[in-house]
A and B are shown apart, each in its own frame.
Chain A
Amino acid sequence: MTQAAVELQTTADPSGDRALLVRCVGVEKSFGSGQARIKVLRGTDFDARAGEMTFLVGPSGCGKTTLISIIGAILSADDGGVEVMGQNLRKMSRRKLADFRLAYFGFIFQQFNLLPALTAAENAAIPRVARGESTGAAEKKARELLGKLGLGDHADKMPNQLSGGQQQRVAIARALVHEPDVLICDEPTASLDAASGHTVMELLRDLSVQGDRSVIVVTHDHRIFEFADRIHHMADGVIERVEQDPPGS
């Protein structure tokens, strides 16, 4: 499928009231070249709406990470259409993609990826500082958010002084501090015990799915499926089925 064949005309949700913030149609992506070329995404369709938690699940190697990398404007699709906030990512330069990420996305990584030399508040403030805001103003906002996440007393601690769950909450603060429209979470509970994982997901639901924000969660963790509004089941590079309001949600 060529890009020309996939024209994304609208971001309006054809099936519901909520606005469609992310829409992928027929996305294809391959890695390697020649005989070693592997097709990871084979015409994948995906969408995520405002005010929803959308889960992307599936076995390892099915293409989940590649898909969220493309949605998150980190990787480019070989073919198909990728539209976020009404803008076609495939038409953007690398520089513009970086600006787009900073403006519209928040990221939560499996390994937290906090800067070890910075305090929790300084880590959480990074996206605002990167956008050119003064360090003082950015850290003030970060401290407010850390307070809401129950880390008000830990704002000046270094990452190695925090537990795994606390570090992930700092990562959540970093992902939300610049009030992004789309939050992409890669295995947010994988490095946490069950209780911490549950707490993190509750916080994500309470703080993230507000207003028009869309949260996309890639996970293997069945224990947190209850937090999903919709679950996209993925296998061999395609979305096999979409589960609306799964049991327990």
Chain B
Amino acid sequence: MYRTALRMLLGDKTKCLALVLGVAFSTLLICQQVSIFFGLLGRASSVVNDVREANVWVMDPSVKTIDVSFPLRDTELPRVRGVEGVAWAVPFFKANVQVRTRSGTLENALLNGIDDASLVGVPDEFVLGSVEDLAQPDTIAVNPAGFRLLFPGQELDLGRELELNDRRAVIAAIVDASPAFSANLSIYTRYSLATRYTNNGRNNLSFILVKTADGTDPQAVCDAIEARTGLQAKTTEEFRWMSIAYVLATTGIPVSFGTVVILGAIIGVAIVGLTFNQFVLENLKQYAALKAIGVRNGKLLLMTLGQAAFVGTVGYGLGLCAAAIFFSQWVAQQSDALRGFYLLPEVAVGVAVLAVLIVTASTTLSMRRVLTVDPATVFRG
């Protein structure tokens, strides 16, 4: 009887198409919005993620996110180094600066200053050049998206000069930094250079990056740092979630994206529900005839569920394909501004569950009609 159910559905091409497209549209919309939402959350903690060598971040007690830091005294660094369980500690500078090219292009940039001696704090992967190139005078590394912002339409290359706060900077490396929340252009340079570029005065220490000694519990080291220095110390994982929580709590992003996701689900339920209901209403006489012949309610229910499952599976598949094409073709290849937005497998699975709920909610009313239709109606002309 499943074949019969499927033939009934496919026989009404217009409604079948509307049902499948309804689910596909919802799937695409929700997949796209949820993935972009998670991409944005990833950007909120991208700098934290990019620092692989350290596992503890030390900062002013008032700091709530990686994007808003309060300068520490330079003397805090040796105090942190003196805490038991700290293998090493290095300074990390972070600020927003304006960058200008010789041709006059002006961009806002996220400036990261890393330890002069160890060069700890820069992302692992370099597209051009290497971390050692940052040891040369006036050198900086920029991310590819930032390079393309500064030099639109030009191939990535090294040796170009920029102006940061009336000071010269030479691009010595292209580093594959994760896209940041506050700027598309990320610059990495030595701590001493970074403080000169910003000219902030005495206190420039934004964060202290700490690597805990082998065999010690990072959380215990954090507690010890806080007890000894009065500063705030967080493990990398804690600081990542702290930064994400800050974005969630202080921006309209969750509400905005949540609204679109809810609307997508509602639109899906509305389209699929109304169309499926119409389909069942038009076939109610046939369902009544099947009942009169002796087809049990259970079998009719399975037939209806089979139709719903077909609509859900095909619709979800099409929607997921469209979302995959959106992210793999358009986002990844066309736009640096959208770099870092991926269709996550978890999102695909989550939306599959949502698609099941949408189809179930949409077909429940229709199923009830099928189950309650009086087979005697077939004798009433």
A109-B289, A130-B295 as given contacts; A65 in contact with B380, CB under 8 Å: yes
**Of residues 114 to 159 in A, which have CB atoms within 8 Å of B's CB atoms?**
115-118, 122, 126-127, 129-130, 135
A111-B381, A117-B10 as given contacts; A130 in contact with B1, CB under 8 Å: yes
Q: Is A241 engaged at the interface, CB distance under 8 Å to the other chain?
A: no
Q: Is A224 engaged at the interface, CB distance under 8 Å to the other chain?
A: no
**Complex: how many Å from CA A105 to CA B8?**
24
Least Cβ distance of A79 to chain B in Å? 18
A92 cross-chain contacts in B, Cβ below 8 A: none
B9 cross-chain contacts in A, Cβ below 8 A: 117
The one of B283, B288, B294 that contacts A105, using a Cβ cutoff of 8 Å: B294
Q: Is A222 engaged at the interface, CB distance under 8 Å to the other chain?
A: no
Q: Is B299 engaged at the interface, CB distance under 8 Å to the other chain?
A: yes
A115 and B4: CB pair below 8 A?
A: yes
The one of A75, A107, A111, A187 that contacts B293, using a Cβ cutoff of 8 Å: A107
Give a binary string over A171-183; 1 marks a CB under 8 Å from any B CB, 0 the rest: 0001000000000
> Of A8-16, A17-25, A95-103, which stretch is located at the interface?
A95-103
A68 and B379: CB pair below 8 A?
A: yes
A103 and B381: CB pair below 8 A?
A: no
A115 and B294: CB pair below 8 A?
A: no
Q: Is A209 engaged at the interface, CB distance under 8 Å to the other chain?
A: no
A69 and B294: CB pair below 8 A?
A: no
A117 and B295: CB pair below 8 A?
A: no
Q: Is A229 engaged at the interface, CB distance under 8 Å to the other chain?
A: no
The one of B12, B292, B296 that contacts A107, using a Cβ cutoff of 8 Å: B292
A122-B4, A130-B1, A135-B3 as given contacts; A113 in contact with B378, CB under 8 Å: yes
B286 cross-chain contacts in A, Cβ below 8 A: 113, 115-116
Q: Is B290 engaged at the interface, CB distance under 8 Å to the other chain?
A: yes
Q: Is A52 engaged at the interface, CB distance under 8 Å to the other chain?
A: no
Give a binary string over A62-76; 1 marks a CB under 8 Å from any B CB, 0 the rest: 000100110010110
B294 cross-chain contacts in A, Cβ below 8 A: 98-103, 105, 127, 130
Q: Is B291 engaged at the interface, CB distance under 8 Å to the other chain?
A: yes
**Of residues 82 to 117 in B, which have CB atoms within 8 Å of A's CB atoms?**
none
B292 cross-chain contacts in A, Cβ below 8 A: 72, 74, 101, 107, 109
| Minimum CB distance partner of A118 in chain B | B7
Interface centre among A74, A103, A107, A129 (most CB of B within 10 A): A74
B285 cross-chain contacts in A, Cβ below 8 A: 111, 113
Q: Is A186 engaged at the interface, CB distance under 8 Å to the other chain?
A: yes
Q: Is B345 engaged at the interface, CB distance under 8 Å to the other chain?
A: no
**Of residues 188 to 213 in A, which have CB atoms within 8 Å of B's CB atoms?**
190
Q: Is A110 engaged at the interface, CB distance under 8 Å to the other chain?
A: yes
Q: Is B11 engaged at the interface, CB distance under 8 Å to the other chain?
A: yes
A116 and B290: CB pair below 8 A?
A: no
Q: Is B306 engaged at the interface, CB distance under 8 Å to the other chain?
A: no
**Of residues 128 to 158 in B, which have CB atoms within 8 Å of A's CB atoms?**
none
A107 cross-chain contacts in B, Cβ below 8 A: 289, 292-293, 378
Least Cβ distance of B270 to chain A in Å? 25
A130 and B299: CB pair below 8 A?
A: yes
A101 and B293: CB pair below 8 A?
A: yes
A117 and B290: CB pair below 8 A?
A: no
| Minimum CB distance partner of A104 in chain B | B294
With A99-B296, A102-B294, A122-B7 given, can you name 8 additional A-B contacts, CB distance below 8 Å?
A: A95-B296, A99-B294, A100-B294, A109-B289, A109-B378, A115-B283, A126-B293, A129-B1
List 19 interface pairs A-B (beta carbons < 8 Å), by A numbering.
A65-B380, A75-B376, A99-B296, A103-B294, A109-B379, A111-B285, A113-B289, A115-B11, A117-B7, A117-B10, A118-B4, A122-B4, A126-B290, A126-B293, A130-B1, A130-B290, A130-B293, A135-B3, A187-B381
Q: Chain B residues in contact with chain A, CB under 8 A?
A: 1, 3-4, 7-12, 283, 285-286, 288-297, 299, 375-376, 378-381
